[in-house]
Amino acid sequence: MPIFMTSTLIYWFLCHEYGSISEPMLQAIAGTNSHEALSTLESFSIPVVMLLVASFAAQCYLSWKFSRFRLYVFIFTGLTLVYPYGRAIVKAYHVQKERHVYTESASSFRAYAPGTIGNTVYLLSLIMNDENTEAVPHQNTDSMITDKVPGRVKNIIVVVGESDLADRHTIYGYKAQNTTPNIQRLVDGDRICVIQNAHSSANMTRYAVPMLFSFYDPDHRDKLYSEKNIIELAKDNKYKTFWISSQDGFGQYSRSFGYLSEFSDYVTRQDYNNKENHVDWHDESLLPVIKEKFADPDEYKFFVIHIIGSHIFYSDDRTQEDIDALPTADTYDQSIHRTDRILALQLQFVLFVNCSW
């Protein structure tokens, strides 16, 4: 009972802070790495944490001190739960029988048994999930690909940012702080174009990144696993492909883009091919790898660089250099300034080569 009550309080707090609890929110909780989890906990006020701990301790004490087992209460309570949870279990069983995917079974259970128990069962299924879909080359090409275009750009570099709000970028008209001075210099020199009124295809990395690099969309999720993705198409066009990331690539939340990364000729992440690279959640840790791979002798190269960007806690995503540059800015603006610096450092490695960003 104390565990049930405490988890109910936690879910209530999440609903109060962020609205209703959705499956993507639970996926994000289960799939986040240890650093982000600790950063998120730090964003909660100490009184809230103390209140939860005190509540749990009080419930444990009261349960031990005053609880008495009464058979008729136990039987009556059990009977009231037979229909709703029995139906949920049957539905989950049928999903498991058809698909053999525990998280989908738990999702079905949650749909028929919403609330604390349904959310907890689904969350536990995500945490225990060891999804590791193997990156096996596909044979099918999406019908939108009709032919190869003659002539190729020698180097294509795609940098995937994270949690960057356009309204806080100088290049998009933000006036309060000069958050993107290096990119602004490129704009002023007519070296790059800035696309206005663009938006992300989704508000979560798990969904947005696959839509960038495959033909996956909300109505055709199977295409991620059944058709050639952009990495494979680049290889078909004789590009050497690289995926360099400060993000993880395993688990229910991260596996969709981790799966895509492993189609590359070369991939390194926090949790993959990292023994010598020492990549971690600091985006700066990618720079030595980027410098080395940008110098690869292959004539045609395709790079994906996936960074942490401005994930919370924002104070983690800045350095003293960013604080000195924007001393009156908040931590979020300073984190964007850091990303701008990292992009500028990457540009220094692209010497005298023909690139598309």
Residue 331 belongs to a domain with what CATH number? 3.40.720.10
Q: What is the CA radius of gyration of the chain?
A: 24
- Section 24-38 average pLDDT: 69
Instruction: Provide the β-strand partners of residue 267.
Output: 243
Structure tokens at 231: 């990495």
Q: Identify the domain containing residue 85 by its residue range.
A: 2-128
121 in the same domain as 162: no
Residue 215 located in a structural domain: yes
- Whether the predicted pLDDT of 96 surpasses 60: no
pLDDT band at 306 (very low <50, low <70, confident <90, very high): very high
* Phi-psi domain of 299 (left: phi exceeds 0; alpha: psi -120 through 50; beta: other): alpha
pLDDT band at 357 (very low <50, low <70, confident <90, very high): very low
220 in the same domain as 121: no
Residue 136 located in a structural domain: no
| 204 CB-side CA count, 13 A | 18
Residue 9 located in a structural domain: yes
Strands 266-268 and 355-356 turn out to be: unpaired
Residue 23 located in a structural domain: yes
Interval 337-356: pLDDT, tens: 999 999 888 877 654 343 34
pLDDT at 195: 87
Answer yes or no: are the C-beta atoms of 242 and 301 closer than 8 Å: yes
Task: Using alpha carbons, select from 347, 335, 276 the residue that is nearest to residue 309.
Answer: 335
C-beta atoms surrounding 228 within 10 Å: 21
294 in the same domain as 204: yes
215 in the same domain as 174: yes
Answer yes or no: are the C-beta atoms of 205 and 256 closer than 8 Å: no
What is the pTM assigned to this prediction?
0.75
Residue 146 located in a structural domain: no
219 in the same domain as 261: yes
Angle, CA 220 vertex, CA 218 and CA 226 arms, to 5°: 135
Interval 40-92: pLDDT, tens: 666 666 676 677 677 767 767 767 666 666 776 667 666 666 656 666 666 66
Helix axes 116-128, 23-31, angle to 10 degrees: 40
Task: Using alpha carbons, select from 182, 226, 217 the residue that is nearest to residue 344.
Answer: 182
Write down the residue that tokens 């979560």 correspond to: 204
Task: Supply the DSSP string of 178-214, one letter for each residue.
Answer: ---HHHHHHHHTTSS----S---S-SSHHHHHHHHHS
